[in-house]
Amino acid sequence: MKVLVIGGGGREHALVWSLSKSNKIKGIYCCPGNAGIAELAKCVDVAVDDFEALIDFAKYEWIECTIVGPEVPLARGIVDAFQREGLNIVGPQKRAAMLESSKSFAKDFLRSYKIPTAEYKVFSYHVHAKEYIRLKGAPIVVKADGLAAGKGVFVALTETEAFEAVDYIMNERAFGEAGDKVIIEECLFGKEASFMVFTDGNTVMPMVSSQDYKRIYENDKGPNTGGMGAYSPVHFITPEMEDTIMSTIMVPAIAGMKKEGINYKGVLYAGLMIKNGKPYVLEFNCRFGDPEAQAVLMRLDTDLLDIAMAINEERLHELEVKWKDGASVCVVLASKGYPGGYEAQKTITGLEDAAKEQDVMVFHSGTAFSGSSVVSSSGRVLCVGAYGADIHTAKLLAYRAIEKIQFDNKYFRRDIGKM
């Protein structure tokens, strides 16, 4: 079987790496891929939103299963486009992907189906948004409605910070049309976790829990990023809490989609806040998180292709998905300046030495080739993952491997996996 993975980041490297362990696959392709993915798959320089070219490629190569990594092509309807051509593809259709592409849609959906989430209001005019902020006071959360690469959420500790966030989103147009509307939301305090499930629209199957680190600086300071690290499992997501999350959030969400006439298939991710022992939805994503995918897939003990095909064929209930005991820790190496301005094209050394470390995998998030050298190509450059008997062991392995990797202005948090 030939498989195509769409995307070119750390999440997609983890997907390709997981698929590469299958004995049922004779060829893996990735569009556009990166320097690390190229070691495991044939990378083809096609943009993730060039649907016509992707469909032509899938037909030409007789691709039997396509897996979508990033959110943008899902939001623009890549699944619908592939399905119209009779091609197998794993991921939610465009209407289903609105759970991620429109925060206002997601919040209204949550309220309609009585799924616990923070109090909120949606505004399309900055003056009204600011009036509401004055009414509610701070701390308060300001969110851009559309896709913003994980950077469109602002936890404002003062009213002034909240006003600045509204201006940044709506007046300065920092995220373009994604800022046509803002959501002003109650600020919940508690413990954050990421919870993902596989679903074929009928069966909802939980993955192991994970937690990511969104802020750029240690001790969760500074602006939000796409993610600076993750670990799995999360100690406070007990079996009892998992049952609660499944029964009050994940299963009702998929059932609610079906009531809306939407058959949600693929991965559903809930960013959660556990407050006073009760889980609340902060956000939905319609795909694997990044870097949560790296942490979770390092613990997957079932053929990912089997899962993908079961989702496509709506027979997930027939499959037993197994996970490794132990733990994983993944640390992102970024370019200095990220999530703001940063320099790229920095030569990376030590990758082979790091890869020799036992139970370590270096996932490439933003790399390319410059001649025979691997260079940085984006803000998040690498994600060093390690598997161990427990979080402490995995963390030691990951940070030991990181010391072997060098590039100019390398930056990473040193508190990933700190309990």
Q: What is the pLDDT of residues 180-208, one digit of tens each?
A: 999 999 999 999 999 999 999 999 999 99
- Extents of the domains making up the chain: 2-91, 119-186, 191-318, 327-411
Whether residue 217 has pLDDT greater than 80: yes
CATH number of this structure's domain 191-318, picked from the four choices 3.40.50.2300, 3.40.50.880, 3.30.470.20, 3.40.1410.10: 3.30.470.20
Q: Which fold has domain 327-411?
A: Glycinamide Ribonucleotide Synthetase; Chain A, domain 4 (3.90.600)
In which element (H, E) is residue 19 found?
helix 10-19
What is the reported pLDDT for 232?
Answer: 98
What is the reported pLDDT for 418?
Answer: 85
What is the reported pLDDT for 396?
Answer: 97
Whether residue 69 has pLDDT greater than 80: yes
End-to-end CA distance of the chain: 42
- Alpha-helical (H) ranges within 288-330 are 292-297, 304-312
Are 153 and 85 within 8 A, CB to CB?
no
What is the reported pLDDT for 395?
Answer: 97
pLDDT in tens, 82-96: 999 999 999 999 999
Q: What pTM was estimated for this model as a whole?
A: 0.94
Question: Using CA atoms, how far apart are residues 134 and 251, in angstroms rounded to an integer?
Answer: 37
Q: Which fold has domain 2-91?
A: Rossmann fold (3.40.50)
pLDDT, average across residues 372-396? 97
What is the reported pLDDT for 149?
Answer: 81
Same topology, domains 2-91 and 327-411? Answer is no
Question: Using CA atoms, how far apart are residues 323 and 103, in angstroms rounded to an integer?
Answer: 31
221 HSE (CA, 13 A, CB side): 6
User: At a CB cut-off of 8 Å and minimum separation 6, what does 352 contact?
Assistant: none
What is the reported pLDDT for 88?
Answer: 97
Q: Is 229 left (phi over 0), alpha (psi -120 to 50) or beta?
A: left
Question: Using CA atoms, how far apart are residues 115 and 199, in angstroms rounded to an integer?
Answer: 18
pLDDT in tens, 249-304: 999 999 999 999 999 999 999 999 999 999 999 999 999 999 999 999 999 999 99
pLDDT in tens, 298-344: 999 999 999 999 999 999 999 999 999 999 999 999 999 999 999 99
Are 181 and 246 within 8 A, CB to CB?
no
Sheet of strand 191-199: strand arrangement: 204-206, 191-199, 266-275, 278-285
Alpha-carbon torsion (247, 248, 249, 252), positive or negative: positive
Would you tell me the crossing angle of helices 10-19 and 304-312 to the nearest 10 degrees?
Answer: 100
What is the reported pLDDT for 179?
Answer: 95
Q: Which fold has domain 119-186?
A: Dna Ligase; domain 1 (3.30.1490)
Location of structure tokens 């062991």: 393
pLDDT, average across residues 399-413? 97
Helices (H) and strands (E) in the chain, counts: 14, 23
Whether residue 419 has pLDDT greater than 80: no
- Quick one: which of 38, 53, 78, 27 has its CA closest to 305? 27
pLDDT in tens, 14-30: 999 999 999 999 999 99
